[in-house]
Every structure is written in structure tokens, then in C-alpha cells.
């Protein structure tokens, strides 16, 4: 089939290939159903962006896209690309402005039925404890430059050292919450300024804190290993590196625009500005991006701590009664140096995941010991009115997608259209009818982020499930939502 000028050749029911033409160095491959292509990809530039990414120097195998693919900057959202370390490049366009935007999910021992009358109270207390909205600040005291340097170097270990987390929180965070080659010397003064008072804040847009209930278990064995049971209250936190990460991206787009000219790269989009991984510019960006990623892990850790305190105080429970244990924390905007198989050989590549989640299989040494037998948890948030999913990584993901899966639902309505569609409706009341309590900074945020503005996340996870890239373990539904 053709979408505009782009030819898509069917490989399997949910996998389509864009042949390498012109100066593309590799073909494109998109995991998606025919129906989703026809409904969602006809009118935007996302597939063109898959083609653009295939032009990057040193790209290996394919320019990939997950089923939540949509129009981004440089890479499409849902884009995955691995570049080799010899002549390959690193690009902020393959990571995004919100470096290490990600999701963490904590489980509790609480059954929804026991506390369903307390959700109102919980939501309002969580809203007070976790700052939200434009430039949200002040969750914890403003950090000195020295403390912030420690956050950027240590990631969520900083929270642990400051009594804002436990050692098991670190064990169940991707990369144990710290990328080791972060360098604060290559992070600008402006980035420091933007981050100083934003630790422990959600921000605005699609970021959220949710109280969810486990609605459906798809795989009982794995769910048990993950500590999940039907009717259980769990907590989801979706946010990233806040202003600090946005500033790092801004700073390095400028540096890498100059570098792209210097190294003679002819790129189809400025947002694909890049530099060889082994150049000074590439190494500086990698080290600054890792520092921002560490900020993000620490941010989600501090928010989780604040939420846990609210739960403890509201229910007057001890830590062991409450549970509140981190199931896992995954990032979905990142570039990482990882080992992957090429035929019989294994080599290191730089895997860019822009709106894509790492999904490592059973036996991977890079996932917690507890999950070695089943695979890495993959957390896929949906929208505020429907459901989210907990998936697990597979061997096939390692074979086909550099160990990557989808990351969310993706919007189907612009903010303007969402606002129009919300006119005259009582969205808070509609959510209440469905048993969902919401608190946000303004009604406009609720309207822009309403359920109808998003695609159905089950279509996205079904593609990944059918293709065997990730498997469905549990479906959770929101009962309390905090938005910016």
C-alpha cells in the first residue's frame, strides 16, 4: 500500500516495510495494523520521519517505529534506531526534549473495595503534596548547585541517600536509576537554573499521577512474580526531567546543528542534528543527556516518596501494611549504549528510543534478579478515562526491535479539537460516573487531556502482543487522577 509517496510492503499482518530508496541507508519497519495506518497515518508526516531517520550515518538494520507512531520532531514519536559506535551518530532528535520521560508503577497491599470511599480524599491530598502545572516547583527545598550536581551524577540514589526512598526502589528502576557516565561539567548553567526547584514536580501536558486498580490479569504466573492481583490499588507516575532536560536538549541542538555542518552531514530535517558518537560533541551530549536522565529518575523517585507518605497518613498504615513497593520504572525517551546481536556476533550500539520503551527478555542480566525468569516489566499508560497496561519483554524484541516496545496511546485529537469537543460537557462529572476522581490545575487541562483526545491504547499493545514483541500481563484502570 502507499501512504502519500511512501510505499509500505506488508511483511506480516502487523509489520510493514519501507524499502530503502534514494539516500536511505537502511529500510524502515513499522509495527502497526492496516486499520491503524488508514485511520492514523494518512494525514501526517510520521512515516516521512521514519524515512528521514534511515538517512542517519551508521544506522543499523532498520529505522523502526512502534504502533503508537505519530508525528514528532526529528524522529517520529515511537521511533527506534540503533547506530554503530564506529561511524554512527547520536541525535537529540532521537531522544526528545523531555529526556528520560518515563513511567513508574508502585504496587500496594490495598484492595480497592476497602478504600473506594476514600479516593476523593486521597486525590486531594496527593494534589497538595505533588506540585503540578506550568513551571511547578517547591516539592522539596530548592537544591543548591552542589546538591543538584549530586542528583545529576547519582540519579535516584540521591533520593535514597536523602531518606526519600529505599534500596529496593533502586533495584527496580531501569539502570538502577543511574547512568554512570553523566557529567555535570557539560550541563549548562541555564539547565541547572531550570532544575533547581523542580525536583519532585509533575509539570503539565500529558504528565500525571494516577491511582489505578488492577482490572484484568492476562498472565497469572507473571502477574504473581510482578506482585499484582485483581482488585489491587497501584500507583502510576508519568513525568520526566522537567525544565532541566528541556534545556539540555535545546543547548545541544545548537551544538549539534554546528557539528552536523562540520562533519558534512546532509540531513533532511534540522531536528535530526547529530554528531558522531565518538566525537567531542557527541560525547558531550551523551554525558549531558545522561545527567538529565538521572534527574528524571530522581524526580519520579521523589514523587513516589511524596505519594507514599500521603497514602501512609491517609490510611494510618505502617509501611509493611501498606506495601507501596516499586514494581518497575522505565524510561521512554533516551539513547543508550547497549549490546545487541548481529548474526552470531554481539556488538555495542547506541539505541535511540524516542517514545519507545526498553523491553528486555527473561534471562537478561540488565533486569532485576526477581524478574530474570519472566522478563522486564513494560509500563504502557493509556488515557485518564480508560486503562493502562503492564506488559513483559520477550526474546523476539531482542531479535527484531533492539529490545524495544511501544510507550503509550498517542493523541488522535489536537488540543483545539479536544477543547471544541469538550464544550458544554461536564468532563469531571462524566469521569465521576465512571468511578474516576480527577483534580487538575485548570479545567482546560482536563479538556485537552480527556479520554476522547487519545487513541485506544489497547490497539497499540495488541499489535505488540500479536507480534510477540511484548506480552500482556495485566490491565489497570484509573480511579484517581492528578494532572498539571
Partner 1 sequence: MTKSYKFVDHTADIAAELTGSSLDELFVAGAEAWFVSIAGEIKIEDDDMLELELTAGSKEELLVTFLNELNYLLITKKWLYSSIQSIKIFDDSEGCELSAELKGTKLKDYHQLKHEIKSVTYHQVEIIEKNGDYSTLIVFDI
Binding site for partner 1 (CB under 8 A): 44, 70-74, 77, 97-98, 133-135, 190, 193-194, 203-205, 243, 246-247, 249-250, 253-254, 257-258, 269-271, 273, 410-417, 442, 444, 484
3-state secondary structure of 454: strand
For residue 350, give the H/E element and its range: strand 345-354
3-state secondary structure of 235: strand
Return d(Cα 370, Cα 168) in angstroms, integer.
11
Q: Residue 444: phi, psi to the nearest 5?
A: -60, -40
Return d(Cα 279, Cα 284) in angstroms, integer.
8
Query: The C-alpha cell of 366 is what?
Result: 540488565
Residue with cell 510493514: 16
The nearest distance, CB 292 to partner 1, in angstroms, is 12
- How many CB atoms within 10 Å of residue 146? 7
Q: Which of 207, 352, 407, 465 is catalytic?
A: 407
The nearest distance, CB 445 to partner 1, in angstroms, is 8
The nearest distance, CB 239 to partner 1, in angstroms, is 12
The nearest distance, CB 179 to partner 1, in angstroms, is 21
In contact, 218 and 473? CB cutoff 8 Å: yes
**With respect to partner 1, which residue has the nearer C-beta, 70 or 471?**
70
**With respect to partner 1, which residue has the nearer C-beta, 226 or 246?**
246
CA atoms within 13 A on the CB side of 418: 19
- CA-to-CA dists, residue 417 to 71, 368, 423, angstroms: 17, 43, 10
The nearest distance, CB 414 to partner 1, in angstroms, is 5
3-state secondary structure of 425: coil
**With respect to partner 1, which residue has the nearer C-beta, 370 or 444?**
444
Return d(Cα 334, Cα 173) in angstroms, integer.
15
Q: Which of 470, 407, 473, 478 has the alpha carbon at shortest distance from 439?
A: 478
Kindly write down the DSSP assignment for every residue of 94-109, as one continuous string: GT-SSTT-EEEEEEEE
The nearest distance, CB 374 to partner 1, in angstroms, is 33
**With respect to partner 1, which residue has the nearer C-beta, 44 or 147?**
44
Q: Which of 351, 365, 382 has the alpha carbon at shortest distance from 460?
A: 382
Q: For the stretch 471-484, what's the b/e string if a residue is b when 16 or more beta carbons lie within 10 angstroms of its beta carbon?
A: bbbbbbbbbbbbbb
Query: The C-alpha cell of 25 is what?
Result: 541507508
Q: Give 397: exposed, middle or buried? Use CB within 10 Å, 0-12, 13-18, 19+.
A: buried
The separation between the first and the last C-alpha atoms of the chain, rounded to the nearest angstrom, is 41
The nearest distance, CB 159 to partner 1, in angstroms, is 23
In contact, 115 and 315? CB cutoff 8 Å: yes
**With respect to partner 1, which residue has the nearer C-beta, 239 or 376?**
239
- How many CB atoms within 10 Å of residue 15? 19
**With respect to partner 1, which residue has the nearer C-beta, 238 or 308?**
238
**With respect to partner 1, which residue has the nearer C-beta, 284 or 449?**
449
3-state secondary structure of 414: coil
The nearest distance, CB 417 to partner 1, in angstroms, is 7
The nearest distance, CB 83 to partner 1, in angstroms, is 21
**With respect to partner 1, which residue has the nearer C-beta, 212 or 449?**
449
407 is catalytic: yes
Q: Where are the beta strands (DSSP E) in 313-459?
A: 325-331, 333-342, 345-354, 357-358, 377-380, 388-393, 404-405, 437-440
**With respect to partner 1, which residue has the nearer C-beta, 29 or 194?**
194
Which residues are marked as active site? 407
Amino acid at each position: 500500500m502507499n501512504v502519500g509517496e511512501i510505499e509500505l510492503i506488508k511483511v506480516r499482518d502487523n509489520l510493514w516495510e519501507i524499502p530503502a530508496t534514494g539516500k536511505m541507508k537502511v529500510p524502515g519497519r513499522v509495527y502497526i495494523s492496516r486499520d491503524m495506518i488508514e485511520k492514523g497515518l494518512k494525514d501526517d508526516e510520521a512515516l516521512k520521519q521514519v524515512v528521514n531517520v534511515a538517512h542517519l550515518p551508521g544506522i543499523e538494520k532498520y529505522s523502526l517505529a512502534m504502533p503508537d507512531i505519530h508525528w514528532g520532531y526529528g524522529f517520529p514519536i515511537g521511533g527506534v534506531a540503533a547506530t554503530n559506535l564506529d561511524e554512527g551518530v547520536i541525535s537529540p532528535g532521537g531522544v526528545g526534549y523531555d529526556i528520560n520521560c518515563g513511567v513508574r508503577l508502585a504496587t500496594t497491599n490495598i484492595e480497592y473495595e476497602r478504600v473506594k470511599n476514600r479516593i476523593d480524599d486521597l486525590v486531594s491530598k496527593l494534589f497538595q503534596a505533588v506540585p503540578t502545572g506550568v513551571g511547578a516547583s517547591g516539592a522539596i527545598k530548592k537544591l543548591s548547585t552542589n546538591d543538584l550536581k549530586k542528583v545529576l551524577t547519582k540519579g535516584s540514589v540521591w533520593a535514597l541517600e536523602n531518606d526519600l526512598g529505599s534500596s529496593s526502589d533502586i533495584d527496580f528502576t531501569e539502570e538502577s536509576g543511574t547512568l554512570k557516565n553523566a557529567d555535570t561539567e557539560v550541563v549548562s548553567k541555564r539547565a541547572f537554573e531550570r532544575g533547581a526547584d523542580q525536583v519532585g514536580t509533575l509539570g503539565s501536558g500529558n504528565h500525571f499521577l494516577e491511582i489505578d486498580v488492577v482490572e484484568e490479569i492476562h498472565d497469572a504466573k507473571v502477574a504473581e512474580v510482578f506482585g499484582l492481583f485483581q482488585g489491587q490499588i497501584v500507583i502510576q507516575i508519568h513525568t520526566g526531567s522537567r525544565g532541566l532536560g528541556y534545556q539540555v536538549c535545546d543547548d545541544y541542538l545548537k551544538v549539534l546543528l554546528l557539528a552536523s555542518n562540520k562533519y558534512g552531514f546532509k540531513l533532511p530535517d534540522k531536528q535530526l542534528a547529530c554528531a558522531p558518537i565518538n566525537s567531542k560533541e557527541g560525547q558531550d551530549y551523551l554525558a549531558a543527556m545522561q545527567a538529565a536522565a538521572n534527574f528524571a529518575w530522581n524526580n519520579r523517585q521523589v514523587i513516589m516518596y511524596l505519594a507514599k507518605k500521603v497514602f501512609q497518613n491517609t490510611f494510618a498504615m505502617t509501611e509493611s501494611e501498606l506495601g507501596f513497593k516499586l514494581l518497575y520504572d522505565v524510561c521512554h525517551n533516551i539513547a543508550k549504549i547497549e549490546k545487541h546481536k548481529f548474526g552470531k556476533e554481539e556488538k555495542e550500539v547506541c539505541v535511540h528510543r524516542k517514545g519507545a520503551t526498553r523491553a528486555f527478555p527473561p534471562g537478561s542480566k540488565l533486569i532485576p534478579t526477581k524478574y530474570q525468569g519472566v522478563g522486564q516489566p513494560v509500563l504502557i499508560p493509556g488515557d485518564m478515562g480508560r486503562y493502562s497496561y503492564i506488559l513483559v519483554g520477550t526474546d523476539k524484541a531482542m531479535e527484531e526491535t533492539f529490545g524495544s516496545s511501544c510507550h503509550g496511546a498517542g493523541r488522535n485529537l489536537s488540543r483545539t479539537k479536544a477543547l471544541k469537543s469538550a464544550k458544554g460537557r461536564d468532563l469531571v462529572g462524566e469521569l465521576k460516573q465512571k468511578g474516576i476522581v480527577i483534580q487538575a490545575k485548570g479545567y482546560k487541562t482536563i479538556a485537552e487531556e480527556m479520554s476522547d483526545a487519545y487513541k485506544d491504547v489497547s490497539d497499540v499493545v495488541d499489535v505488540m502482543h500479536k507480534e510477540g514483541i511484548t506480552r500482556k500481563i495485566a490491565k489497570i484502570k484509573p480511579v484517581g487522577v492528578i494532572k498539571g
